[in-house]
Amino acid sequence: MAKSGKTSAAARLQSVARLSRTALAARLLQHGFYAGQDQIMLALAETDGLTPGNLAQRLGVRPPTITKTINRLQGQGFVERRASENDSRQAHIWLTEAGSDAIRGIEKAVRKTDKQVAKGLDKKELKLLMKLLSRIEANLSEIAPPVVEDDEPDEEAAAA
């Protein structure tokens, strides 16, 4: 526990991460997206036609989480599932035309949030911040638990 009202580094980092994500989520909502959907959309913009498993691995989340988010994005008309040409049991996720058009809005929301985060910092301070955050990320990556593959389909995915 922190002494004399001082906040621990981990607590401050969690607070900043939460505030940053909240600011981004508010901007994404203006473009019709919920928090977390942006990461899938940007991954597909980079490499369209990934499988849900590829997306889960790339984003470091569990497959049921990806399935739920893909279902929502599909319902919104931003992505579509297509059967694999090689294995009909495997689906690939593709951006629709509406999804491709929406990428600019997501990127704009990210840029605006980045600008808000860096407000009041000069280039030297921002460079130092990025260096320190990279070091913290590396420190935490050493002890982070691995993503557990979940063979059990979640309820929402089973209903889809």
Q: Where do the structural domains in the chain lie, given as residue ranges?
A: 11-159
Tens-digit pLDDT profile for residues 89-117 = 889 999 999 999 999 999 999 999 999 99
Residue with tokens 């491709």: 100
Q: What is the reported pTM?
A: 0.76
Nearest to 106 by CA among 49, 27, 26, 19: 27
CATH 1.10.10.10 fits 11-159, yes or no: yes
User: How distant, in Å, are the alpha carbons of 64, 89, 132, 156 from that of 57?
Assistant: 12, 19, 26, 20
The whole-angstrom separation of Cα 63 and Cα 55 is 8
Q: Which pLDDT tens digit goes with each residue over 28-85?
A: 999 999 988 999 999 999 999 999 999 999 999 999 999 999 999 999 999 999 998 8
Q: What pLDDT, in 10s, does the model give residues 8-24? A: 999 999 999 999 999 99
Locus of tokens 């951006």? 95
